[in-house]
Structure formats: C-alpha cells, structure tokens
Amino acid sequence: MDFLLRDHPLLLFAVSLVVLWAAGWAGVALSRWHHPNDSGISDTFGVLMGATLTLLALIIGFTFSMAVSRYDQRKNFEESEANAIGTEYLRLGLLDDASATRARALLVDYLAQRIQFYETRDRTRLARLEAEKARLQPELWKTVEAPAKKARDAAMTLVASGMNDVLNSEGYTQAAWWNRIPVAAWSLMMLIALASHLLVGFGGARLRAEPELLFILPISVAISFMLIADIDSPRGGVIRVLPHNLIAVEASLQAH
C-alpha cells in the first residue's frame, strides 16, 4: 500500500475497499478448489477465522486510539501557543516604548503566520510560511535579547522567558504534527485485514449464493481505515485542528 494514501482518507477508503473485497473473493475462489468437509478441520478453521477477526478488531481499535491521542496533542499545543503569545504580548510592555512597539508588531505578524500554518493545505504556501517563520523567530528573539543584556533584572528575565516560551511552543507544535501513526502499524493492520478477508471468503460457502454479503466486512474495515487516516492527518482530513485559540488571541490583540 502507498502510505501517502494516509494523507488522502477518501482515496484510502476507495483503495482499501477494492483491495479487501478482492481478497474476499480470492478466498471464495480458493474454497472452490479445496473445501474441507471434515468437521474437526471445519471447527479448527472457524477458531482460526474468529481469532484473526478479533485480532483485526483489536489492532483497528488500538490504531484509532493512537490517532485520537495525536489529535488531542495537536489541539493542546495549539492552545499552548495561543497562551504563550498572548502572555508575551503583555510582558513586552515592560520594555521601553520603542522596543515594545517594534516587538509587539513582530509578534502580531508572527501570530498571523501561525494562524495561516494551521489553516493552509497548500504545500507551496506552507513552504513560504516556513521561510517567513525562519525570518521572524530570530527577529523576535533579538527584540528581547538586547534589553535583557542591558538590564539583568527580574522584569527582563520574565520578558525573555516569555519569548522563549513562544518560540519553544512552535517547536512542540511542529513535533506533534510530525508525530504520525507509524508506517509499520499501517502495514500490520492492512496485512491482518487482508488475511481476515481471505479467510472469510474461504470459509463462507454462503457467499457464493449471496455475494452481496462479501461487501459488509470490506466496507466496515475501509470506513475504519478512512476515519483513522482522517484523524491522523493534520492537513489531509476533514477532522482537523483549527486555530480557534490563536484567532481569539489575535482578536484580543487587535482590540488592545
């Protein structure tokens, strides 16, 4: 499976549905060549199929939990970024008027850039935002570095610490966006799903008479894959972290 599909949940749903449905029918085709009549073998096969389906359900549930925890982490870091920027904007008032005005203007520009980071899906635009961030962060630090060197008091320490929190919070956010479900987990889940559908097709004699039954499990599993990919993808899915807290801070700073 092309693991870039995890950034395109709908496409992943379509590909998974076709592949799993084909695996089921491959099992049906194999059952026509060899279908054991011995009751002991049939019982053993039923236990094997039940265990495989149970394992598939467990790994889907485990992977879904991984996706949700990463989504919650991204939300928490967005809130932390907003708090750090809002607090530092107020602390910059401890600087002299000229330095405070310049630092606050840069911080407002930086805040607008961070909001666009959350909202954009355009890869080209994202590259420009990355370049803008690389320019703004050193400028922000310089606005507090020089005053902190001149006045080594508690107030300047507070201002410098606040700016450090602003810059660090962006790094934590980026790390959380990079923290995706491992490719190995996707591979294992897909392999178990293929094995499960192959076994279901092989053991389902009734499927030959009622082939529509073979769609039920592939659709259910494909929907599960789509939902996991949607939650796990920071930009590709419908369920995304929106910068509500950052937008609220921007509105409050404009009012200020």
Rounded distance between C-alpha atoms, residue 109 and residue 116, angstroms: 11
Rounded distance between C-alpha atoms, residue 165 and residue 145, angstroms: 14
CA dihedral 202, 207, 208, 210 (to 10 degrees): -170
Q: What pLDDT is attached to residue 1?
A: 43
**What is the pTM for the complete model shown?**
0.84
Q: What pLDDT is attached to residue 29?
A: 78
Q: Cβ(74)–Cβ(176) under 8 Å?
A: yes
Q: What pLDDT is attached to residue 27?
A: 81
pLDDT in 10s for each residue of the chain, 256 residues: 445 778 889 999 999 999 999 988 888 777 776 655 555 456 677 777 888 889 999 999 999 999 999 999 999 999 999 999 999 999 998 888 888 899 999 999 999 999 999 988 888 888 899 999 999 999 999 988 888 778 777 888 899 999 999 999 999 999 999 999 998 899 999 999 999 888 887 776 555 556 666 788 899 999 999 999 999 998 888 888 999 999 999 998 887 6
The residues, any chain, with a CB within 8 Å of residue 122's CB and separated by 6 or more, are none
The residues, any chain, with a CB within 8 Å of residue 63's CB and separated by 6 or more, are 181, 185, 186, 189, 228
Q: Cβ(20)–Cβ(222) under 8 Å?
A: yes
- pLDDT (tens digit, 9 = 90+) per residue, 75-88? 999 999 999 999 99
Domain boundaries along the sequence of the chain: 3-255
Q: What pLDDT is attached to residue 20?
A: 92
Rounded distance between C-alpha atoms, residue 88 and residue 82, angstroms: 10
Q: What pLDDT is attached to residue 209?
A: 53
> Measuring CA to CA, which residue among 241, 242, 245, 232 is closest to residue 81?
245
Q: What pLDDT is attached to residue 56?
A: 92
Q: What pLDDT is attached to residue 146?
A: 83
Rounded distance between C-alpha atoms, residue 16 and residue 6, angstroms: 11
